[in-house]
Amino acid sequence: MTRKSLIAAFALVAISGVTALAQNKPLVYTIGPKLSIGTLNTGQPDEFQVRGKASFTLTAANSDDTLVGTLSYTLPDDARAKIAQLTGKPVAQVPATTTVKDVIAEFQKTTACPVVHIEIKPMDMTIAGAKLRFTKKTVLDINGREPGSIQKYTPTQEMDIQFCVWTRQINNSAIRRGVIQRVNGILAGEPAN
């Protein structure tokens, strides 16, 4: 093998390795955004209602059929102005989006494809020193996908399929260990078997 062909072969192997690594990067899977209403504690009898958008970025699937992720809440401008007024801070110091990590979500009872509903229990969120309270569950929707609709799936499409399979298994009281393991594998960037 000549030096030139050896260098070309080495370059081909290196490029193939880089391509393989690039194809197996972790998946960022976000559910939402969807309108979610919270109340801002103003200290007055009339609380200020906030009509923001909630989204949930999945980080892990648990064996107890729960999901772990980061909840993001995007505030409308009127809510940011009200928080600034309450806290005495400039509006520029009130973030447009606030996140809470390690939030637990559950599947809504008997949910199934084509739209899978997940719920996040009522919670409080602190934004620039003000307390925002969600007194009702935050419900977000996953547009599921039934397997077999196309030949090759993107990781996002495969995740949509796994949610259909998972909820079907929950509703039929079937074992779910494999689907939960696959959801975590997709999140980690592991290729399909």
**Contact assessment for residue 117 and residue 21, using Cβ atoms and an 8 Å cutoff:** no
> For the chain, percent helix, then strand, then coil, each to nearest 5?
35, 35, 30
> Is residue 118 exposed (0-12), middle (13-18) or buried (19+ Cβ within 10 Å)?
buried
State both tokens at 49.
């209602």
Helix (H, G, I), strand (E, B) or coil at 158: helix
Q: How many CA atoms lie within 13 A of 162 on its CB side?
A: 23
Radius of gyration of the chain (CA): 22
H or E segment to which residue 17 belongs: helix 3-23
> What global pTM score does this model have?
0.82
pLDDT in tens, the chain (193 residues): 555 544 444 443 344 343 344 457 899 999 999 999 999 987 777 788 999 999 999 999 999 999 999 999 999 999 999 999 988 999 999 999 999 999 999 999 999 999 999 999 999 999 999 999 999 999 999 998 777 756 678 899 999 999 999 999 999 999 999 999 999 999 999 987 6
